[in-house]
A = this chain, B = another copy of it.
């Protein structure tokens, strides 16, 4: 294991400490176990937006605490759901009387624990709603779309939810807009190398020096095809084919494109990914209303990239372009 870390057991807490130390104007560590990252102060008069999930994907999830994004986030161990308590604590913090939306990746533990946290919050008269992000088209077919994992599409759904809340919408409206984003986002990834969970100490999976895996999940979940590494244009064509088969674009459709590095991919390569993905969207006649290129949803030292397409309507486009500010993303 080759990481710039101290004791594996302290990894998550030390990284959170570093984030809070670096960005005190954005992040404050809270909760009896220190596993809530939240804004310094709750914002009165708006719906709260929270999330939570396993660690090792920064900026997902906790990095997106910020203006026009999340109010608070529960933080688990590496690739492990937080328990219910920091989720409930996040909800309690974010609630200023207008209720709280939970944006949740489609993983069993995260869903179950947020279900419990929301039930507990409701008993304290905090109104809650949930939106599940399940954008990975490689994880299941369209007939079983509810089984799909949540990957980088989370970033776009969070942006929409945070902007809708900041705009003063009610909980029902914020939830409906975030749900619309979740319904209209599709992602797929390609991995070239494995991540390593610090406490495991060895790569999560093996992959040969000349191989790639299309559709791999951000914890190393199996993809749809392992094969020889091909030129980036061919890889992106295969990924764009999957995305556009699952949800086609028509001439004039407006989309947001997220070209996401999984953690260890040189930024130069992300621009090659973007170049081909844009050419495919141009070819299909889609209008690129917005694009983001960088490490937005990572898997520690996994090399590879993912593509996410959010199919926009006027409302989603406006929310995607609304102001937002966190250390990992400014609009």
A contact residues vs B (CB 8 Å cutoff)? 2-7, 11, 14-15, 17-19, 21-22, 55-56, 58-59, 190, 192-193, 209-210, 229, 231-233, 235, 263-269, 271-275, 278, 291, 293, 295, 298, 300-301, 303-305, 327, 330
- Complex: chain B residue closest to A234, CB-CB: B6
- Complex: chain B residue closest to A304, CB-CB: B4
Report B-chain residues with C-beta under 8 Å of the C-beta of A55: 268
B14 and A272 contact, CB distance less than 8 A: yes
Min CB distance A23 to B, Å, is 9
B301 and A264 contact, CB distance less than 8 A: yes
Extra A-B contacts (6), CB below 8 Å, given A58-B267, A59-B267: A4-B192, A18-B271, A22-B274, A264-B264, A267-B295, A295-B295
Report B-chain residues with C-beta under 8 Å of the C-beta of A304: 4
14 A-B pairs within 8 Å (CB atoms) are namely A3-B269, A4-B304, A6-B231, A6-B233, A6-B272, A7-B231, A11-B268, A18-B271, A21-B274, A22-B271, A22-B293, A58-B266, A58-B268, A58-B271
Min CB distance A309 to B, Å, is 16
Report B-chain residues with C-beta under 8 Å of the C-beta of A2: 192-193, 209-210, 229, 303
Closest 5 CB pairs of A and B: A18-B271, A18-B275, A264-B264, A4-B269, A4-B232
Copies of this subunit: 2
How far does the alpha carbon of A232 sit from the alpha carbon of B291 in the complex, in Å?
35
Min CB distance A5 to B, Å, is 5
How far does the alpha carbon of A266 sit from the alpha carbon of B21 in the complex, in Å?
18
Report B-chain residues with C-beta under 8 Å of the C-beta of A264: 263-266, 301, 303
A272 and B305 contact, CB distance less than 8 A: no
How far does the alpha carbon of A235 sit from the alpha carbon of B6 in the complex, in Å?
10
How far does the alpha carbon of A55 sit from the alpha carbon of B231 in the complex, in Å?
20
Report B-chain residues with C-beta under 8 Å of the C-beta of A278: 21-22
Min CB distance A276 to B, Å, is 9
Report B-chain residues with C-beta under 8 Å of the C-beta of A275: 14, 17-18, 21
